[in-house]
A and B are shown apart, each in its own frame.
Chain A
Amino acid sequence: AQKITQTQPGMFVQEKEAVTLDCTYDTSDPSYGLFWYKQPSSGEMIFLIYQGSYDQQNATEGRYSLNFQKARKSANLVISASQLGDSAMYFCAMREPGTALIFGKGTTLSVSS
């Protein structure tokens, strides 16, 4: 069965520093996708980055990168040069083909000046 684990309930970082949010997953399907979403206090879910299981390179989107370690079944999100606006809840999620997203419990990121 699919499973997503986020072990960090909360993370604290100072502006301009990099931060890594951890995510491990479990699936028996060789084809899957890994996603990160950001949920600010306003509540909307914002898609950040996607990594396919067959992708050879780690995904990057601006200041976001996904550190994909397939053998370890981990898909950590790295945010470089943190900004105050990055303070939010971050969810790791996974999909197998044709299925819905399975989400982790989330990590609350707090960025201070």
Chain B
Amino acid sequence: DSGVTQTPKHLITATGQRVTLRCSPRSGDLSVYWYQQSLDQGLQFLIQYYNGEERAKGNILERFSAQQFPDLHSELNLSSLELGDSALYFCASSPRRSGQGVDEQYFGPGTRLTVT
């Protein structure tokens, strides 16, 4: 158990809908990262938050957005869903308090999103 929690574990929804994925980082970790794993794109970085502020953006679509709340949990919002958004979405947290440096990231169990 990495200490990172994600809910829900599975989500099935229809095209055009909107969903919210939730992540709680490990105790004391200020950085949260979101990744998408799909069969055709592999594992891709979406977005990073550090202590409530957006720190970096990767290959995140405009239909997707995220935020990190004062209690440090984070939510990833996916809207106008398409079939191609079906993927495993991971949240990871990082122990380094500065948000900088090269340290390990611990992953949550992931949310498997299926868009039908």
Count of interface residues, chain B, beta-carbon cutoff 8 Å: 26
A100 close to B45 (CB less than 8 A): yes
A43 close to B109 (CB less than 8 A): yes
Question: B92-107: contact bitstring with A at CB < 8 Å (1 yes, 0 no)?
Answer: 1000000111111111
User: Is B110's CB within 8 Å of the partner chain A?
Assistant: yes
Residues of the B chain whose Cβ atoms lie less than 8 Å from the Cβ of A106: 42
Q: Which of A33, A45, A91 lies in contact with B102, CB distance below 8 A? A: A33
Enumerate 22 A-B pairs (CB-CB under 8 Å) in ascending A order: A31-B102, A32-B102, A33-B104, A35-B105, A43-B110, A44-B108, A44-B109, A44-B110, A45-B107, A47-B105, A50-B104, A96-B102, A98-B99, A98-B100, A100-B45, A100-B48, A101-B33, A101-B43, A101-B45, A101-B92, A101-B105, A106-B42
Query: Beyond the given A44-B110, A101-B92, could you list 10 further A-B residue pairs with CB under 8 A, ordered by the A residue number?
Result: A35-B105, A43-B88, A43-B109, A43-B112, A44-B108, A45-B110, A47-B106, A52-B102, A100-B45, A100-B48
B-contacting residues of A (Cβ < 8 Å)?
A: 31-33, 35, 37, 43-47, 50, 52-53, 91, 95-103, 105-106
